[in-house]
Every structure is written in structure tokens, then in C-alpha cells.
């Protein structure tokens, strides 16, 4: 069977809005593959011999955005890997375990975050993937700040779950990421979710978007 053409749902919202939590729910129920741009960057940062380790680490601590060539190539590689495995372990595991089958659907969490990300993504990916919609987890700054600080205190181990980095992440979010969400909204592609309630309540809204 030919490799599947990736179908993409972007997932955006402020830090601590629940993107990661809700993505893992969607994975369990609908067989999507979750690609967190932040997680891929943290992985690359820690990979032995990576030429980008220091650069990524500085951006993460400062809440600024890594150049798109790096992030987009990590996303591209991950999608290719999953799609080419469709006749191998990924689909096979699903068949044997009762897990929902992987059909080339990806959640791209935390990307595109600024103009540079969007331009670079378009340049590299147009025609290679199908963009479905953008899932937008909307919640006020106080809630997102409080959740991230809690996550830091609970030992997230992240270098950026402290008050100083968080303030910078929020500035980046409001200045650079919200305009990208607005751009997708102008194309009619944004599905907005109120991310303030509990994770279970939020998921009961989220899942409705994936039911058909």
C-alpha cells in the first residue's frame, strides 16, 4: 500500500491551555498521532551530537520561537515515519490491540506559532499534507499561568515552567501566535474550545469535533 498522505489538525492555545492533555485523549479515542512541536524540539535538544541543542535550549528558556527550518523538518520527518509504517507496526498493533486504526491523521500541537513558522510550513508542506482545521484552546492568561506554575511545582522538569520564562512565553503567545490563529480564523478553519473548565468537561466538547 502506498504511504498515506498526512491529514493535519493544528492545535494551538496559550501555554497551559491543555493542548497536550486533550491531544492524548484524541489519540486514544480516534487513532490520531500526536506530534508536539515543543516535545520534538526538546528531544532534538537532548539528542547526542545535535548541532541545534544550544540554540533550541536558549529559545525555550526565553519563550522565543526556534527558526522554522528546524521545527518543520522535525515535523516532516515524524509524519513520514508514521505514514510509512502504516503496513508495519503502527497499523498492526492497532489491529491486535483494539486501538483505533491509524489513518494518516496527525495532531500538530504548538505549531505554527509565528509568521516565520507559517511561511516556512507553507513553503515546505503545501501539497504534501491536507490541512483539516485548527483546534484553538482559548483560556485567560491567569488560568494558563496558574496551570503552568503548578505543572512546574509538580516536577514537569521543563526549563520554562517558571514565572520568568512563563511571562516571556505569554508575551510571545499574544504578540506572535494569536495573529496566526486569527489568520486561520479568517479562512474559516478555526474550531474554538473554551479551555477554562476541567479537562473532562473540555474533552466532552473536543470529541464532538472528531465524531464525523
Residue 13 assigned ligand-binding role: no
- Closest separation in Å from C-beta 187 to Mg ion: 24
Q: Which is nearer to ligand UDP, 4 or 27 (CB)?
A: 27
When the beta carbons of 86 and 172 are compared against Mg ion, the nearer one is 172
Q: Name the minimum Å distance from CB 203 to Mg ion.
A: 16
Closest CA relative to residue 13, chosen from 45, 32, 38, 44 = 38
Closest approach, Cβ 126 to ligand UDP, in A, equals 18
66 annotated to a ligand binding site: yes
Backbone region of residue 98 per phi and psi (left: phi > 0; alpha: psi in -120 to 50; beta: other values):
left
Per partner kind, with CB cut-offs from 5 to 8 A, the member of Mg ion, ligand UDP, none near residue 59 is ligand UDP
9 is in an annotated binding site: no
Binding interface with ligand UDP (CB under 6 A): 15-16, 19-20, 36-38, 41, 59-60, 63-66, 71, 110-111, 113, 117, 160, 169
Residue among 87 and 194 whose Cβ is closer to ligand UDP: 194
Residue list 1-20, contact with Mg ion (CB under 5 A): 20
Q: How far apart are CA 193 and CA 178, in angstroms?
A: 15
Q: How far is the CB of 19 from ligand UDP (least distance, A)?
A: 5
Rounded CA gap, 130 and 9, in Å? 9
Distance between terminal CA atoms of the chain? 25
Provide, rounded to whole angstroms, the least separation between the CB of residue 181 and ligand UDP.
Answer: 13
Order of all β-strands in the sheet with 7-12: 33-36, 105-109, 7-12, 130-138, 190-194
75 vs 90 by CB, closer to ligand UDP: 75
State yes or no: 192 annotated in a binding site.
Answer: no
> 100 a known binding residue?
no
Q: Is 147 annotated as a binding residue?
A: no
Rounded distance between C-alpha atoms, residue 27 and residue 106, angstroms: 9
Q: Is residue 100 near Mg ion by the rule CB under 5 A?
A: no
Closest CA to 70 of 80, 54, 49, 56: 56
- 100 secondary structure, DSSP code: P
Looking at residues 17 to 76 of the shown chain, list those that interact with Mg ion (rule: CB under 5 A): 20
**172 is known to lie in a ligand binding site:** no
Q: How far apart are CA 88 and CA 82, in angstroms?
A: 10
Q: How far apart are CA 38 and CA 71, in angstroms?
A: 9
- Binding residues for Mg ion, per CB under 5 A? 20
Amino acid at each position: 500500500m502506498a504511504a498515506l498522505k498526512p491529514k493535519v489538525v493544528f492545535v494551538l492555545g496559550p501555554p497551559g491551555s491543555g493542548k497536550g492533555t486533550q491531544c492524548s485523549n484524541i489519540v486514544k479515542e480516534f487513532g490520531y498521532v500526536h506530534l508536539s512541536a515543543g516535545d520534538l524540539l526538546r528531544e532534538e535538544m537532548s539528542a547526542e551530537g545535535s548541532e541545534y541543542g544550544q540554540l533550541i535550549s536558549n529559545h525555550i528558556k526565553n519563550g522565543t520561537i526556534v527558526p522554522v527550518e528546524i521545527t518543520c523538518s522535525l515535523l516532516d520527518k515524524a509524519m513520514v515515519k508514521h505514514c510509512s509504517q502504516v503496513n508495519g507496526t503502527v497499523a498492526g498493533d492497532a489491529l491486535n490491540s483494539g486501538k483505533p486504526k491509524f489513518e494518516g491523521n496527525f495532531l500538530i500541537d504548538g505549531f505554527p506559532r509565528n509568521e516565520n513558522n507559517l511561511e516556512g510550513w507553507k513553503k515546505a508542506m503545501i501539497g504534501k499534507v491536507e490541512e483539516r482545521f485548527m483546534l484553538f484552546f482559548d483560556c485567560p492568561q491567569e488560568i494558563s499561568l496558574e496551570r503552568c506554575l503548578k505543572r512546574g511545582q509538580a516536577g514537569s522538569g521543563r526549563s520554562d515552567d517558571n514565572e520568568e520564562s512563563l511571562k516571556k512565553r505569554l508575551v510571545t503567545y499574544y504578540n506572535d501566535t494569536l495573529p496566526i490563529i486569527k489568520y486561520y480564523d479568517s479562512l474559516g478553519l478555526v474550531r474554538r474550545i473554551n479551555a477554562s473548565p476541567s479537562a473532562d468537561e473540555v474533552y466532552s466538547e473536543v470529541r464532538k469535533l472528531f465524531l464525523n
